């Protein structure tokens, strides 16, 4: 399975590193963690996080997860996004990439992310 990515805040990434696992606040309501494939990251970031300089990007190996990962689009589009149906153990996170926006408030894929 391909590497997937999740956008979070640097603060939440630091807290997850200390705790050993991660679940965003929305997990309690939605029941999954929104993720993206590399080609989807920039669009998602610019649509949902425009202007945020405090973000981090989890690079996740789905093979290290014991929970289900489903490709879905719950908004009715044709582009499928990976959703992690469980808490994210930090042992599945290969790298945490800094992910600040540029001077114009928009995001570009970090050079450290393999395309």
Question: In CATH, what number is assigned to the domain containing residue 35?
Answer: 3.20.170.20
Please give the Cα distance from 54 to 110 (Å, whole number).
Answer: 14
Confidence class for position 115, pLDDT limits 50, 70, 90 = low
Residue 114 lies in a domain: no
Selection from 19, 23, 18 nearest residue 8 by Cα: 23
Task: List the domain range (segments joined by +) for residue 57.
Answer: 4-98
Please give the Cα distance from 3 to 12 (Å, whole number).
Answer: 21
Q: What is the rounded average pLDDT of the residues 7-14?
A: 97
Count structural domains, the chain. Answer: 1
Model confidence, pTM: 0.94
Residue 107 lies in a domain: no
Residue 109 lies in a domain: no
Q: What is the dihedral of CA 19, 23, 49, 114, to 10 degrees?
A: 80
At 71-114, the pLDDT tens digits run 999 888 889 999 999 999 999 999 999 999 999 999 999 888 86
Residue 61 lies in a domain: yes
Residue 18 lies in a domain: yes
């Amino acid at each position: 399975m391909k590497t997937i990515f999740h956008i979070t805040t640097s603060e939440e990434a630091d807290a997850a590193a200390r705790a050993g696992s991660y679940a965003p606040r929305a997990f309690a309501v939605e029941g999954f963690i929104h993720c993206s494939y590399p080609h989807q990251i920039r669009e998602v970031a610019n649509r949902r996080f425009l202007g945020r300089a405090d973000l981090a990007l989890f690079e996740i190996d789905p093979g290290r997860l014991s929970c289900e990962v489903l490709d879905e689009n719950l908004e009715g589009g044709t582009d499928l996004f990976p959703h992690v149906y469980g808490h994210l153990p930090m042992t599945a996170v290969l790298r945490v990439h800094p992910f600040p926006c540029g001077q114009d408030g928009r995001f570009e894929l970090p050079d450290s992310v393999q395309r």
